[in-house]
Structures are given as C-alpha cells and as structure tokens.
Amino acid sequence: MDVQELIKQQVTSNPIVLYMKGTPGAPQCGFSANVVQILKACGVTGLFSVDVLSDPEIRQGIKEYSDWPTIPQLYVNGNFIGGSDIISEMYRSGDLQKLLNS
C-alpha cells in the first residue's frame, strides 16, 4: 500500500484522526499539544493519532494529501478540518464542538 492509500484508509476508517508531532500523551510541538488539549476539552475519546515524526513518508504524504503545508492536521469523518490555528478559532466560536457532536 502506498502512503496516499494508507492515509486515505486512516482518515476514512476512523471518525477523528490527528496527524501530529508526537503522541497525545507526549506531544512534541506546541501546536500539536494545543490541538490535543482542545480535543480533550471537547470530550473527544477514541482519537486515532499518527506521529509524523516516526514516519517521514507520512509526514510528507499528509501534506500532499490535504494540500496543507503544516502539521498538525485534524480530520473528522474523513474530512480535513485544519491545523492548530483553525482548530483554535473553531473551538472559540463553538463550531468545533458542533462538528464533533454531529
């Protein structure tokens, strides 16, 4: 399976997927830590996370898959939602909570 197929399988097989640096329990960058904290505050359980630092092919592949240059990247129900700044704004406005609870 090539990396694009693997990514597609990950984002379509799991309701909430976070491509991040590190793990939810040990984020390796502030932006990833921010998104993890927001998801926790929204009551997300069962998060499927992918540590892009452990796999250079996925780290580059996810940027190509979404056409988005930065990590972290959040997917909900197979759809790319955004990175740290977008997730923060959606959380502040209440849009993220609505999306996660729909």
User: DSSP class of residue 67?
Assistant: T
How far apart, in Å, are the Cα atoms of 63 and each of 42, 60, 73, 78, 97? 26, 5, 9, 15, 25
What is the CA angle 21-22-28, rounded to 5?
A: 75
Q: Is 29 annotated as a binding residue?
A: yes
For residue 72, give both structure tokens: 């972290």
Query: Which residues carry a binding-site annotation?
Result: 29
Question: Which residues are known binding-site members for [2Fe-2S] cluster?
Answer: 29
